[in-house]
């Protein structure tokens, strides 16, 4: 009995797992194919990660797109679309990969409606039974093909307006489907799912002929259109609220947006807004300002399929219950006294609109920085004018009008522009947020827009020429590092969303308009934007480390090298003096040669040819030919780094010390900025110019005869010795070095050194 109970329990548990875990456990990977892969490709294409044909085959292109998406959203970068990856895609696009085939059309009522006899409007769908040959997968906005064309013909034969019968499921078809669903007691969602398609088939015979005369459907104009409310504020990426939701609904009805109606301005909505703007002749900046809003909610709004879908004739206006403080428009007095000036109270930047923008523009026009009329829209020309004013008046040039800019702009101290200068040049006529991925070699206005934004945030120092070169990629990578993004140096949607947002951190680690960060001591274990800025600056001046945001051992050693070469106290702590010097215009760079090879005081040294390298014995061939105080050169073939060593003693091995600070820095770089006793095989150039092999380390010990070289002690160079002599006199570390030297020579020449 107990055994049967256990078996039943196991069976029940398995059934529960199968029922509850099947959907969430969906995983797509190379080389699968099918409808789920098609849906995945569609979503990735909408997000800008996939640019190939949507073929339902999980090939190399799909895998690469998944990897890029995962990297952008800090997911495991394995190219496998597992639950976490699919969940993130759904959150961004509203597209459910692996969801039910008739999602959104789950009406259970399948009531029949009879029509009178007669025939009209042949809408034959094929040789099978019914219009759709038994295929009832959901048709919705964005669908296309023969099944959509059959749907359109059928609705049109029944008297529903679907616009053109073109096989493309656009906003007109959406309205027609909703009207049909409404009049037939189906779920009214505008998607033609199984129940809707089967209901539609009941009005036609097996040959596709209409059964009886078409009945007059209810008025579509009032029944099918969504209710819209025009936003009263400028909407941007990252915002949320009912006005964002209404914008989503309107763009969804127009066929631009396919994501969730959640009232959150995310990447999917950003892409939809830009697509609408481009289609309707607006500046594609991704912000829903007054002009975009007016076009979006007008009778003339052009849908994604080229048709129009008018909203209600007199849409109400919504004001958010609690608008952000910086978005409340000041109300200027009806009449301004001649002796007073009205000054904006909020920080104004590109994309803003309102009466306070007009005030700003009027003042810029008075000072000859802006021409034309004050229209209340903060566009590229206004931003250019603000930048020019800031440059002429000793302000931080960021194109953002805040309290410091107002204090001078609306004062008698404001320096006007020369009349002939008018509007500063070299700005693009449009400022747009890119929708494509950008990488080295790309060009265009979207590249120039990215460059201007990077310049405003002080990452890019070169000109904005519209060419995505190495300097732009380096600036983009620095921005990504500072803002917690995957640092590829390429442009992608996630990066653009952060780059053009108000919360973007500039190269100093603060948001636009914020005060410069004060210098705080940075030491081992510190993290955050200040550390990233420090690391980025060190890398820019060729100090070798990785930008991680954590003050690790490599960062400490790089700081020590910087302090040493720049005449500072060497302690590895980046305090006020170190940071002030690092961010100044008089930095001593880390010495590098061709191809970024690091060198010491002897300059860049090329790797010797194998034919130049001799196997020389320390006691028999080297010791008597060199003298204390002479310099030898060590060259590491692994890192291509060379440094000078001064001989200070000659015993069973050669005692040396780095000749200068530059040599100490180069030596530590070759060892990965870690003190290490492990023998490093090197080529050594003797004072005679002859090259030989040896091993060395970088640990300071013993006496310190050379001052001011940032190396508190001596280290050693081990040349070839007889193994028997070494085993007798230096059985530990000496033997370790001789074994390393012999292994190095064998790898270099294929010759074994005989035991003596």
Per residue in 134-152, pLDDT (tens digit) is 788 888 766 777 888 889 8
- C-alpha span between 522 and 535 (Å, rounded): 11
């060892």: which residue's tokens? Answer: 671
Question: Average pLDDT in the 358-374 region?
Answer: 87
**Angle at 472 (CA atoms; ends 469, 474), nearest 5 degrees:** 105
**What is the structure's pLDDT at 13?**
41
Q: What angle do the packed helices 661-670 and 553-565 form, to 10 degrees?
A: 160
Quote the CA–CA distance of 147 and 167 in Å, as a whole number.
Answer: 7
Burial 454-474 (b: 16+ CB within 10 A, else e): bbbbbbbeeebebbbeebbbb
pLDDT at 655 over 90: yes
CATH classification number, 230-318, choose in 3.30.200.20, 1.10.101.10, 3.40.50.300, 3.30.420.40? 1.10.101.10
pLDDT at 607 over 50: yes
CA atoms within 13 A on the CB side of 463: 6
Alpha helices in 519-606 (DSSP H): 529-540, 553-565, 576-582
What does the buried/exposed string (b/e) look like for 634-667 if buried means 16 or more CB atoms within 10 Å of the residue's CB? Answer: bbbeebbbbbbbbbbebebbbbbbbbbbbbbbbb
CB atoms inside a 10 Å sphere around CB 596: 10
- When pLDDT is cut at 50, 70 and 90, the band that residue 419 belongs to is low
- DSSP helix/strand/coil, 729: helix
Domain ranges of the chain: 2-93, 230-318, 341-427, 430-515, 529-590, 600-749
| Residue showing tokens 């590109």 | 350
Res. 234: pLDDT tops 50 = yes
Whether residue 305 contacts residue 255, with contact meaning beta carbons closer than 8 Å, is answered with yes
Q: Please tell me which of 381-390, 591-600, 601-610, 640-649 the model is most confident about, judged by mean pLDDT.
A: 640-649
pTM exceeds 0.75 = no
How confident is the model over 22-60, as pLDDT tens digits? 334 688 887 787 778 888 888 887 777 887 777 888 887
- Compute the average pLDDT of residues 645-674: 90
Is 123 a residue whose pLDDT tops 50? no
The CATH number for 341-427, chosen from 1.10.101.10, 1.20.900.10, 3.40.50.620, 3.40.50.10470, is 1.10.101.10
- DSSP string across 503-515: T-B-TTSSBTTSP
In this structure, CATH architecture of domain 529-590:
Orthogonal Bundle (1.10)
What is residue 133's predicted lDDT score, i.e. its pLDDT? 78
The residue ranking higher by pLDDT, 621 or 228, is: 621
Distance, in Å, from the CA atom of 317 to the CA atom of 361, rounded to the nearest integer, reads: 27
Residue whose C-alpha is closest to residue 737's, from 728, 746, 747, 727: 727
Q: Provide the pLDDT confidence category of residue 9 given band limits of 50, 70 and 90.
A: very low
CB neighbour list of residue 281: distance below 8 Å, 6 or more residues apart: none
Report which of 549, 556, 586, 555 is spatially closest to residue 570, judged by C-alpha positions: 556
- pLDDT over threshold 90, residue 616: yes
| Class of the CATH domain delimited by 2-93 | mainly alpha
Q: Please, which pLDDT band fits residue 403 given cuts at 50, 70 and 90?
A: confident
Q: Tens digit of pLDDT for each residue in 156-205?
A: 888 888 877 888 777 678 788 888 888 888 888 888 888 898 898 888 88
Q: Is the peptide bond before 31 cis (omega within 30 degrees of 0)?
A: yes
pLDDT in tens, 425-436: 344 433 467 878
Where residue 719 falls among pLDDT bands split at 50, 70, 90? very high
Long-range Cβ contact pairs of 458-464 (< 8 A, separation 24 or more): 458/506, 458/507, 458/508, 459/506, 459/507, 463/426, 464/426
**Full DSSP string of 426-495:** S--S------S-B-TT-BSHHHHHHHHHHHHTT---S---SB--HHHHHHHHHHHHHTTS---SSB-HHH
110: confidence class by pLDDT, cuts 50, 70, 90: very low
Lowest mean pLDDT among 59-73, 219-233, 406-420, 611-625: 219-233
Helix or strand holding residue 717 (H, E): strand 715-718
pLDDT of residue 725: 93
Average pLDDT over residues 292-304: 80
Contact 433, 284 (CB under 8 A): yes
Q: Is a pLDDT exceeding 70 seen at residue 122?
A: no
Q: Where would I find the H helices in 337-432?
A: 355-366, 380-392, 403-409
Class in CATH terms, 430-515: mainly alpha
Query: Chain-wide mean pLDDT for the chain?
Result: 78
| Three-state DSSP class for residue 264 | strand
């Amino acid at each position: 009995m107990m055994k049967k109970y256990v078996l039943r329990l196991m069976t029940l548990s398995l059934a529960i797992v199968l029922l509850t875990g099947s959907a969430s456990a969906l995983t797509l990977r190379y080389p699968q194919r099918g409808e789920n892969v098609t849906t995945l490709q569609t979503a990735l294409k909408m997000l800008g990660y996939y640019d190939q044909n949507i073929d339902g085959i999980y090939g190399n292109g799909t895998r690469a797109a998944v990897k890029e998406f995962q990297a952008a959203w800090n997911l495991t970068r394995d190219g496998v679309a597992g639950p976490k990856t699919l969940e993130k895609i759904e959150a961004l696009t509203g597209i459910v990969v692996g969801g039910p085939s008739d999602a959104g059309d789950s009406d259970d009522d399948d009531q029949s409606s009879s029509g009178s006899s007669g025939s009209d409007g042949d809408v034959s769908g094929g040789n099978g039974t019914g219009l759709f040959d038994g295929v009832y997968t959901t048709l919705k906005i964005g669908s296309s093909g023969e099944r959509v064309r059959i749907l359109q013909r059928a609705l049109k034969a029944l008297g529903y307006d679907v616009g053109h019968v073109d096989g493309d499921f656009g906003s007109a078809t959406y309205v027609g489907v909703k009207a049909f669903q409404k009049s037939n007691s189906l779920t009214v969602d505008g998607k033609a799912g199984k129940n809707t398609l089967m209901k539609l088939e009941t009005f036609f015979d097996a040959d596709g002929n209409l059964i009886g005369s078409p009945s007059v459907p209810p008025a579509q104009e009032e029944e099918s259109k969504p209710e819209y409310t025009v936003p009263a504020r400028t909407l941007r990426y990252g915002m949320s609220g009912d006005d964002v939701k209404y914008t989503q609904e309107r763009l969804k009805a127009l066929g631009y947006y396919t994501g969730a109606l959640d009232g959150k301005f995310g990447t999917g909505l950003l892409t939809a807004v830009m697509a609408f703007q481009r289609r309707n002749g607006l500046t594609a900046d991704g912000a829903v300002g007054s002009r975009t809003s007016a076009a979006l909610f007008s009778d003339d709004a052009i849908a994604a399929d080229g048709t129009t879908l008018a909203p209600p004739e007199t849409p109400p206006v919504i004001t958010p219950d609690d608008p952000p403080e910086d978005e409340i428009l000041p109300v200027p007095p009806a009449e301004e006294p001649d002796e007073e000036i009205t000054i904006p109270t909020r920080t104004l930047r590109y994309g803003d609109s309102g009466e306070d923008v007009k005030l700003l523009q009027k003042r810029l026009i008075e000072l000859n920085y802006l021409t034309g009329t004050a229209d209340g829209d903060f566009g590229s020309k206004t931003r250019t004018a603000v930048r020019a004013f800031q440059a002429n008046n000793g302000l931080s040039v960021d194109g953002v009008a805040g309290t410091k800019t107002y204090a001078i702009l609306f004062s008698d101290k404001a320096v006007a522009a020369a009349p002939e200068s008018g509007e500063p040049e070299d700005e693009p006529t449009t400022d747009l947020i890119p929708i494509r991925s950008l990488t080295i070699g790309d060009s265009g206005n979207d590249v120039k827009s990215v460059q201007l934004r990077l310049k405003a945030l002080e990452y890019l120092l070169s000109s904005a020429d519209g060419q995505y070169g190495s300097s732009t990629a380096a600036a983009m990578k620095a921005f990504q590092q500072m803002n917690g993004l995957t640092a590829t140096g390429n442009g992608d949607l996630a990066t653009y969303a952060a780059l053009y947002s108000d919360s973007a951190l500039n190269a100093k680690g603060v948001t636009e308009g914020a005060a410069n960060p004060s210098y705080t001591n940075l030491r081992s274990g510190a993290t955050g934007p200040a550390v990233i800025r420090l690391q980025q600056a060190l890398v820019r001046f060729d100090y070798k480390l990785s930008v991680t945001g954590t003050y690790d051992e490599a960062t400490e050693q790089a700081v020590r090298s910087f302090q040493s070469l720049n005449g500072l106290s060497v302690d590895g702590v980046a305090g006020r003096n170190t940071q002030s010097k690092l961010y100044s215009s008089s930095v001593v760079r880390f010495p590098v040669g061709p191809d970024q090879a690091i060198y010491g005081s002897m300059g860049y040294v090329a790797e010797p040819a194998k034919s130049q390298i001799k196997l020389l014995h320390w006691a028999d061939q080297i010791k008597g030919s060199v003298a204390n105080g002479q310099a030898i050169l060590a060259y590491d073939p692994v890192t291509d780094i060379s440094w000078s060593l001064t001989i200070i003693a000659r015993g069973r091995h050669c005692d040396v010390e780095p000749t200068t600070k530059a040599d100490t820095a180069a030596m530590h770089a070759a060892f990965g900025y870690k003190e290490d006793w492990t023998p490093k095989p090197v080529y050594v150039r003797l004072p005679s110019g002859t090259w030989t092999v040896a091993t060395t380390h970088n640990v300071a010990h013993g006496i310190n005869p050379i001052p001011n070289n940032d190396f508190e002690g001596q280290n050693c160079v081990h040349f070839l010795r007889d193994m028997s002599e070494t085993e007798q006199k230096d059985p530990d570390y000496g033997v370790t070095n001789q074994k390393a030297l012999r292994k190095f020579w064998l790898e270099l020449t294929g010759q074994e050194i005989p035991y003596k």
